[in-house]
Structure 1
């Protein structure tokens, strides 16, 4: 899978950012097993991205159909008492926008070969194709549209106790072997550093410039470490960046 190593921190940023919408956060808190089986969830997300980005079309469509079927069964009430459905096009759009922005920002910040403006717009357009196949509507097709949509979502966002629990679990309680913990902490730090300042404040994360610079430095180191590991295996991170085709949720 030829994702740039910065995508690991981008994935953490996406999870933190997505948690700020009460609807998708309630779906995760009420229907997901991210605490009892965090690596199983990570594997499912990784498989979705790999299949929908690189597999032959029949396999891609089967994967999208599987995710759509799962979404159809997920519904309930969020912390505000408002009903939600995982297949709601508006909620899917938020999950998609947060993921696309996070991955793109990670690549632009830490890749040795950031995308040009036109290439970044093409990345957003490609990502929208997968989001549409999951049922999202009104997706952005340019970086400017993506950033505007994130801004437009802000009045709907709320840092619920469930969102704080996700941050606490991923930051401090994820079950890890001792040897993996230092690298994992650096990836988490990188994900925090990528977040917009307003999101860090909502999630009660340190937002002073010194801490943000430290987190960014750790994230950059983690990206290089992963890059060296990939070079040692197949060097795939040197290939062009491609857009994941839709968030698995």
Structure 2
């Protein structure tokens, strides 16, 4: 794998964007968006173990995204093949029509992809990450490679900011808050504390104390960063001032995360997958 920088590489907008820890908040924002698609959220509710193992599912999803962004070509191929095989075995029932459908339908895969990459990008920009208009479009275009990995035809995936906006406008009549969506959003906002996290007293402190209130603040920021039409679908969260409050909060969170990282030893400032990718990139430069 020496010199193999994977799908994107150090000169890509993708690498520039994904070095930002605030993208964790973008991932949460994307889940609130995904919960507004009745079929997509039904597929998650009927197939995913997120209720019994939410933190495990979060880590597995983060590992997959990290592999796609920073993994070698072999690592990316292996991870995406495994994901496609998993999806191919799953189906769900549409709660509105009773119709049985595969969860790897292109329309569902496209919704999950677009909401994820748009959330990463929008959250980063709103937090203060500076990107030119060309870089914004470049990120969407680069991420068509990620869409192809899950089985989508890249030509059917929005590749610019204007195309993403048009896609959202076209999708809105199909969206709405179902029971599955409401339960998922509530779960995202008030998740359980894992039983493996220390003593009963420690867990009680997380459940009722400052950490829980801090997480609620993070979740409310993720909701506040949603497009106005999405907030309205959740009801009562589209009041004037929501945008400004969310922008102030996300900038503060980015500053906090940046400050915390700056205090860590050098070997812990960069995620292991990114560190390995940077080493491969150095090897590539040395070869040339």
TM-score, L = length of structure 2:
0.76
Structure-1 separation of matches of 2:218 and 2:252: 9
In the alignment, is the contact (CA less than 8 A) between 2:127 and 2:247 conserved in 1?
no
Structure-2 separation of matches of 1:218 and 1:182: 14
Which residue, 135, 146, 157 being the options, matches 1:119? 135
Give the aligned partner of residue 284 of structure 2: none
Deviates more, 1:100-109 or 1:2-11: 2-11
Give the 5 Å matches for 1:187-202: 187-202=218-233
Give the 5 Å matches for 1:1-249: 2-80=18-96, 81-111=98-128, 113-137=129-153, 138-175=156-193, 177=203, 178=206, 180-233=211-264, 234=266, 235-236=269-270
In the alignment, is the contact (CA less than 8 A) between 1:6 and 1:107 conserved in 2?
yes
Could you tell me how far 1:212 is from its partner in structure 2? 4.3
User: Quick check: which has more Rg, 1 or 2?
Assistant: 2
In the alignment, is the contact (CA less than 8 A) between 1:5 and 1:224 conserved in 2?
no
Tell me, which stretches of 5 or more residues in structure 2 are unaligned?
A: 1-14, 195-202, 275-288
Deviation per CA, 1:5-37: give whole Å up to 9, x if none.
221221111000011111110111111111211
Deviates more, 1:83-92 or 1:44-53: 83-92
Could you tell me how far 1:82 is from its partner in structure 2? 3.2
Could you tell me how far 1:205 is from its partner in structure 2? 4.6
Deviates more, 1:72-81 or 1:226-235: 226-235
Structure-1 separation of matches of 2:192 and 2:243: 22
Moved over 4 A (4+): 234-237
Matched residue SS, 1:209: coil
Call closer, same or farther: CA 1:139–1:207 in 2, change over 3 Å.
Answer: same
Structure-1 separation of matches of 2:236 and 2:139: 29
Structure-2 separation of matches of 1:54 and 1:62: 13
Structure-1 separation of matches of 2:41 and 2:101: 10
Tell me, which stretches of 5 or more residues in structure 1 are unaligned?
A: 240-249
Deviates more, 1:21-30 or 1:78-87: 78-87
Deviates more, 1:75-84 or 1:100-109: 75-84
Structure-2 separation of matches of 1:155 and 1:73: 29
Structure-2 separation of matches of 1:201 and 1:191: 14
Structure-1 separation of matches of 2:246 and 2:193: 21
